[in-house]
Amino acid sequence: ETEEDLHLTMDLMKRVEYEDAFTYYYNPREGTKAFELGDTVLHKVKIERLRRIIELQNELTRKKKMKKIGQNMRVLAEKLSKKNSSEILARTEFNDMVVFPGSEKLIGNFVMVKIKKLSGNTLIGEEIPHA
């Protein structure tokens, strides 16, 4: 990978605006096609490039999640929050983590919530009462 390759990757990330990405530096594994390519990039360069990719992805993720503030979303209540037993940890259909005030009786059910804010990468919401 050259510096130009890295810039092309980052440009693609900006165009596509991935919601999330699982990244790792290149590590040749014996028995794979990539192993035959060799390993010509210094480890410290790989780590620095990975840091830049992760930093960009964090910005893109936050930007995408900020757009969800104010939206009503259907979530699956999974469990009580470890940080606060009066809050429910839930997931959207796109696997976004959402925390909202609620009781254990909601676990296993779909709940409509209004997204109020973002804390880290976690959406914070409140349950929308049934009409």
- CA dist 25 and 23 (Å) reads 7
Per-residue model confidence (pLDDT) at position 38: 78
Domain 72-127 in CATH: superfamily?
Nucleic acid-binding proteins (2.40.50.140)
**Directed axis angle between helix 43-66 and helix 3-16, to 10°?**
10
With the C-alpha atoms ordered 94, 100, 106, 112, is the resulting torsion angle positive or negative? negative
**19, 94 in Cβ contact below 8 A?**
yes
32 pLDDT tier (thresholds 50, 70, 90): confident
For residue 103, pLDDT beyond 70: yes
pTM of the prediction? 0.80
% of the chain surpassing 90 pLDDT: 82
**What are the tens digits of pLDDT across the range 65-87?**
999 999 999 999 999 999 999 99
Q: For the chain, give every domain's residue range.
A: 3-66, 72-127
Q: Which of helix, strand or coil describes residue 82?
A: coil
Torsion on CA atoms 54, 26, 95, 52, rounded to nearest 10: 10
**In the predicted model, what is the mean pLDDT of the chain?**
93
